[in-house]
């Protein structure tokens, strides 16, 4: 992954929201909780934890929030036109954003360093050997 050149460009499905990620993610996590399954309409959702300052966004986002099992607020930023989620955030941690990296043009950064909420994992999905797992949140 050393050949990935930053900044990386990203966008929502309709192109109304564009952004640049100026530095590599701190970590990439696959979450298997039921809420992420609903979000992704798949077996899990991928999140790239990035520094807030490393994300430069153009376009006007809409926001939605829900209370997580941890008691933290899980906010979502998305395109008001196509509904594509761009990132999640916790207002109590303003220095970090949970980018939805499938919105990047270059998706090679999507290599999960851990899997969380595997207690709710779909039975048919096999986590690769050697990747750390956590029954709930890490």
| pLDDT at site 1 | 54
Give the pLDDT band of residue 2 (cuts 50, 70, 90): low
Name the residue ranges covered by the structural domains of the chain: 8-117
Q: For the segment 23-71, what is each residue's pLDDT rounded down to a tens digit?
A: 999 999 988 888 877 877 788 889 999 999 999 999 999 999 888 777 7
CA angle 54, 132, 29 (to 5 degrees): 30
Q: For the segment 75-97, what is each residue's pLDDT rounded down to a tens digit?
A: 999 999 999 999 999 998 999 99
CATH for the 8-117 domain, from 2.170.150.70, 3.30.70.2190, 3.10.50.40, 1.10.357.10: 2.170.150.70
Calculate the alpha carbon distances from 98 to 54, 90, 101 in Å. 12, 9, 9
CB 8 within 8 A of CB 108: no
């Amino acid at each position: 992954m050393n050949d990935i050149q930053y900044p990386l460009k990203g966008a929502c499905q309709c192109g109304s929201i564009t952004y640049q990620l100026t530095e590599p993610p701190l970590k990439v996590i696959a979450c298997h909780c039921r809420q992420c399954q609903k979000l992704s309409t798949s077996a899990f959702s991928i999140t790239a934890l990035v520094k807030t300052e490393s994300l430069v966004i153009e376009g006007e986002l809409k926001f939605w929030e829900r209370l997580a099992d941890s008691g933290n607020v899980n906010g979502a930023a998305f395109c008001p036109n196509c509904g594509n989620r761009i990132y999640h955030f916790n207002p109590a941690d303003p220095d970090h954003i949970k980018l939805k990296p499938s919105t990047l043009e270059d998706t090679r950064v999507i290599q999960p360093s851990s899997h969380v909420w595997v207690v709710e994992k779909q039975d048919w999905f096999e986590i690769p050997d050697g990747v750390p797992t956590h029954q709930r949140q890490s």
